[in-house]
């Protein structure tokens, strides 16, 4: 900044700038200073905070057994209190400094965990990891809101996902439903502090990915008896992800939806590919109808109902905005085809396969049109996967398999070459 | 005005965090002061955990209880009693908190099926971790295998009150493991 001021002075002296313009430039730059004050400082301060917290706890642990219990207890509270004091300084003294808020937020979040863990260890308490995480999450939730720290948000969301996995899998006796309030907290923070502010683009992208990943991991742990119905839960959820990523219908920050879009498309494709396999499809179709009256009270049913309602709401919203696309109806079409498999397996299988082929072809076409290597290769990859899977359920001679793969390989080469050439020609024309 | 709100929320947050750790200590202290002491016969080994470091993992082969009680919730309550040799064991299972003080609370116990195909729950003491100095843990493990060969008595000293418990010490022939390994 100082270098910049000097330069401005020089320019004014040399008569290149009027004094007025120079002042305006200076005012503009200092206004944006916090926003631009280099991601590097931010990242290193956060890293520093995390490493300090870990380092202190390791150092104390090394000499642990020689310290009396009362002293140990006092020591256990030290990182927490220090972190709270630093957070207070950040909040009341350097309120506008993102670096301060982010690094103290990270430090405080981790210190809570450290203090709780150390207290547990001193007193030989026997908490399960799920119980410990739950206590930590309750204590860490206010940190992100009060300090408006996005790093705390990341730690919290990751912790909530971890808790969900532990509570869902192990026999810890802790309810997996706690994840819901954590998720609500996480989304409220996102809405309040990511969508409505000018945040770093990198954070916008990564936070979208983190939330999408957390949502992708979580539902599986809610599954009870009706695992086949989880398929529809995921299908509905991935469909909602895709809708969310359909720009510009939902006014979200730039690239925030990248994670949702990519995970959504990959997820739906994965499910469709799995169900294109005849044995899998038959298995799903048979078990789908193996339900009793308890189904209406199961987790699967309620979560599916929730996502279906969200889906319907989103579609109505999009249609009102005159938004219309093939990708908006993957969930109902694919669900219907899987249901039909119960009555007409052959038809359903052919339809699913044809659908995947069509979708991949559209994707490839779209990729060529928009010069997107990712879309082009994604589409080709799906076609190859489809063909590879068909080798498992039908007998196809080795010659035919060889020719199929040769053809696909050539297709990959040619399509990519074509796209790169097109790009080059375009840039040549521009010059 | 807005600043005052932030201050209040900040102070509440700090109190919540300090209170959480404080509550753990408070619960521990009430058990230590008012709880009843028990000896659980045990064996132990020394696992390594990336976050928790080294500790002694305790097993209680004689205190376990198998029960065919039908469980409805996640939580069950076990009454503790002492046998003629002075060791504690799980006496009975209850679905709601019994009107005595000498019970512990267990979350979602394991279950299996017995020889006749009936569903059984396995109740084991939940105090399975004894934290100890990193360098001492392997030594302690050696000590216990030696002690078991010499048919010495190994037990965990536990204090129990109203469902909560505190693991106070692990002893070999009435001498604390921590003291033994330091020799």
pLDDT at A35 over 70: no
B133, A65: Cβ pair inside 8 Å?
yes
> Which residue in A has a C-alpha nearest to residue B76's C-alpha?
A173
**A56 to chain B, closest Cα gap in Å:** 14
What residues in chain B have their Cβ under 8 A from chain A's Cβ atoms? 6-7, 9-10, 12-14, 16-18, 20-21, 24-25, 28, 51-53, 74-75, 107-110, 126-134, 136, 165-168, 178
Contact A123 B28 (CB under 8 A): yes
Give the pLDDT confidence score for residue A237 in this predicted structure: 95
* Closest chain B CA to residue A137: B17
Q: Is B146 exposed, middle or buried (0-12, 13-18, 19+ CB in 10 A)?
A: exposed
Task: Specify the pTM.
Answer: 0.77
Question: How is residue B152 written in tokens?
Answer: 């010495």
Question: What DSSP character marks residue A128?
Answer: -
pLDDT digits (tens, 9 = 90+) for A131-158: 889 999 999 999 999 998 888 999 999 9
pLDDT tens digits, A361-404: 888 888 888 878 888 888 888 988 888 888 777 777 778 878 88
What is the per-residue pLDDT across A241-264, written as a single tens digit (0 to 9) for each?
Answer: 999 887 655 667 777 888 898 899
- Asked if A124 reaches chain B (Cβ–Cβ under 8 Å), the answer is yes
Q: Are A122 and A69 in contact (CB under 8 A)?
A: yes
* Predicted confidence (pLDDT) per residue in A266-283, tens digit: 999 999 998 888 888 888
**Cα–Cα dist B146/A280, whole Å:** 55
Chain A (316-355) residues lying within 8 Å, Cβ to Cβ, of chain B: none
Q: Of the candidates B7, B16, B28, which has its C-beta nearest A125's C-beta?
A: B28
Spatial neighbors of A158 by CB under 8 A, at least 6 apart, are A210, A214
Minimum-distance CB partner of A126 among B20, B53, B127:
B127
> What would the pLDDT profile of B23-39 be if each residue is shown by its tens digit?
888 888 888 888 888 88
Cβ of residue A135 closer than 8 Å to a chain B Cβ: yes
The answer to whether B152 and B138 are in contact (CB under 8 A) is: no
Spatial contact of B34 and B161, defined as CB atoms under 8 Å apart = yes
- ipTM entry: 0.71
Strands B110-113 and B119-123: antiparallel
| Chain B CB within 8 Å of residue A64 CB | yes
Average pLDDT of span B72-92: 81
pLDDT at B58: 82
Q: Which residue of B has its CA nearest to A135?
A: B20
- What pLDDT, on the 0 to 100 scale, is given for residue A268? 93
Phi, psi (degrees; rounded to nearest 5) at B40: -110, 120
| Record: contact B24-A126, CB cut-off 8 A | no
Instruction: Give the integer Cα–Cα distance in Å for B173 and B183.
Output: 15
Mean pLDDT of A331-349: 89
**CA of B162 vs chain A CAs: smallest distance (Å):** 15
Shortest Cα distance, chain B CAs vs residue A59, angstroms: 13
Question: Which chain B residues are within 8 Å of A143, Cβ to Cβ?
Answer: 13
Question: Nearest CA of chain B to the CA of A425: how many Å?
Answer: 55
Q: Are B129 and B121 in contact (CB under 8 A)?
A: no
Rounded distance between C-alpha atoms, residue B51 and residue B99, angstroms: 39
Residue A61 and residue B14: Cβ atoms within 8 Å? no
- Is the pLDDT score of A33 beyond 60? no
3-state secondary structure of B104: strand
Q: In whole angstroms, give the CA distance from residue A272 to residue A289.
A: 20
Residue B169 near residue B156 (C-beta atoms within 8 A): yes
User: What pLDDT shows up at residue B106?
Assistant: 81
**Mean pLDDT on B106-125:** 73
Classified as helix, coil or strand, B119 is: strand
Q: What average pLDDT does chain A have?
A: 83
- Residue of chain A whose Cα is closest to the Cα of B56: A124
pLDDT in tens, A57-81: 666 666 666 677 788 788 788 888 9
pLDDT of residue A2: 60
Which residues, 6 or more positions from B155, have their beta carbon under 8 angstroms from its beta carbon?
A: B39, B40, B41, B42, B87, B170, B171
Nearest to B10 among A73, A91, A121 (CB): A91
From the CA of A306, how many Å to the nearest CA of chain B? 26
Q: Which of A114, A173, A176, A185 to mutate to test the interface with B (most CBs of B within 10 A)?
A: A173
Contact B25 A119 (CB under 8 A): yes
- Is the pLDDT reported for residue A34 higher than 60? no
Helical (H) or strand (E) element with A420: helix A398-430
Q: Please check whether residue A144 touches B, CB under 8 A.
A: no
Neighbouring C-beta atoms of residue B178, cutoff 10 Å:
16
Over residues B119-146, mean pLDDT: 77
B20 with A87: Cβ contact below 8 A: no
Contacts of A75 in chain B (CB under 8 A): none
Contacts of B107 in chain A (CB under 8 A): 128, 171-174
pLDDT of residue B21: 87
**pLDDT, position A95:** 80
Query: Facing residues of B92 across strands?
Result: B79
Average of per-residue pLDDT across B90-119: 78
Q: What is the mean pLDDT of chain B?
A: 80
Picking from B21, B128, B135, B158 by the largest number of A CB atoms within 10 A of its own CB, the best residue to mutate is B21
Cβ contacts of B127 on chain A, cutoff 8 Å = 124, 126
Nearest to A173 among B74, B110, B130 (CB): B74
Are A387 and A407 spatial neighbours (Cβ–Cβ below 8 Å)? Answer: no
Pick from A113-122, A190-199, A244-253, B66-75 the range whose average pLDDT is largest.
A113-122
Instruction: Residue A119: list chain B partners with CB under 8 A.
Output: 21, 24-25
Summarised one tens digit per residue, pLDDT across range A405-429 is 888 888 888 888 888 888 788 777 7
Instruction: Count contacts between A and B (CB, < 8 Å).
Output: 84
Judge contact between A105 and A87, C-beta under 8 A. Answer: yes
For residue A37, pLDDT over 60 is answered with: no
């Amino acid at each position: 900044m100082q270098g910049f001021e000097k330069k401005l002075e020089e320019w004014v002296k040399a008569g290149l700038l009027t004094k007025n313009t120079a002042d305006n430039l200076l005012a503009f730059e200092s206004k944006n200073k916090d926003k631009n004050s280099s991601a590097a400082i931010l990242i290193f301060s956060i890293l520093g905070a995390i490493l300090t917290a870990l380092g202190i706890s390791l150092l104390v642990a090394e000499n642990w057994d020689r310290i009396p219990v009362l002293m140990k207890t006092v020591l256990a509270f030290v990182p927490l209190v220090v972190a709270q004091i630093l957070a207070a300084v950040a909040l009341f003294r350097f309120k506008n400094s993102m670096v301060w808020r982010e690094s103290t937020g990270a430090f405080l979040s981790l210190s809570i965990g450290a203090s709780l863990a150390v207290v547990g260890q001193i007193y030989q308490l026997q908490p399960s990891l799920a119980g410990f995480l739950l206590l930590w999450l309750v204590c860490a939730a206010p940190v992100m809101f009060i300090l408006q720290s996005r790093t705390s948000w990341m730690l919290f969301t990751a912790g909530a996902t971890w808790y969900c996995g532990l509570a869902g899998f192990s026999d810890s006796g802790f309810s997996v439903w706690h994840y819901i309030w954590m998720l609500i907290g996480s989304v409220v923070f996102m809405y309040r502090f990511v969508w409505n502010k000018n945040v770093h683009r990198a954070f916008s992208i990564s936070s979208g990915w983190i939330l999408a990943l957390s949502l992708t991991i979580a539902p599986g742990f809610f599954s009870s008896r009706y695992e086949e119905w989880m398929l529809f839960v995921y299908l509905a959820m991935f469909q909602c992800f895709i809708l969310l990523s359909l720009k510009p219908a939902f006014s979200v920050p730039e690239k925030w939806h990248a994670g949702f879009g990519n995970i959504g498309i990959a997820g739906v494709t994965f499910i469709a590919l799995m169900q294109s396999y005849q044995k899998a499809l038959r298995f799903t179709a048979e078990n789908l109808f193996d339900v009793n009256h308890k189904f209406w009270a199961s987790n699967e049913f309620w979560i599916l109902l929730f996502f279906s309602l969200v889906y319907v709401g989103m579609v109505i919203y999009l249609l009102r905005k005159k938004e219309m696309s093939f990708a908006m109806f993957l969930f109902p079409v694919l669900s219907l085809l899987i249901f039909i498999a119960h009555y007409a397996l052959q038809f359903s299988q052919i339809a699913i396969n044809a659908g995947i082929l069509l979708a991949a072809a559209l994707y490839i076409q779209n990729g060529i049109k928009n010069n997107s290597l990712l879309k082009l290769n994604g589409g080709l990859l799906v076609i190859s996967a489809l063909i590879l899977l068909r080798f498992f359920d039908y007998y196809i001679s080795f010659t035919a398999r060889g020719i199929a793969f040769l053809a696909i390989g050539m297709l990959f080469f040619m399509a990519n070459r074509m796209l790169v050439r097109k790009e080059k020609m375009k840039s040549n024309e521009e010059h | 005005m807005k600043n005052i709100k932030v201050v209040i929320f900040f102070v509440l947050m700090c109190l919540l965090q300090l209170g959480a750790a404080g509550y753990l200590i408070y619960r521990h202290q009430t058990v230590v002061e008012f709880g009843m002491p028990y000896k659980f016969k045990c064996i132990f080994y020394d696992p390594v955990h990336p976050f928790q470091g080294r500790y002694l993992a305790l097993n209680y082969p004689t205190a376990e209880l198998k029960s065919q009680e039908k469980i409805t919730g996640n939580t069950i309550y076990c009454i503790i009693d002492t046998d003629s040799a002075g060791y504690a064991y799980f006496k009975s299972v209850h679905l709601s908190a019994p009107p005595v003080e000498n019970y512990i609370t267990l979350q979602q116990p394991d279950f299996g099926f017995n020889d006749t195909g009936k569903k059984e729950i396995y109740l084991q003491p939940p105090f399975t971790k004894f934290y100890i100095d990193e360098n001492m843990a392997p030594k302690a493990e050696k000590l216990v295998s030696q002690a078991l060969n010499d048919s010495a008595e190994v037990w965990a000293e536990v204090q129990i009150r109203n469902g909560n418990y505190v693991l106070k010490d692990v002893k070999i022939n009435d001498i604390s493991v921590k003291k033994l390994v330091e020799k």
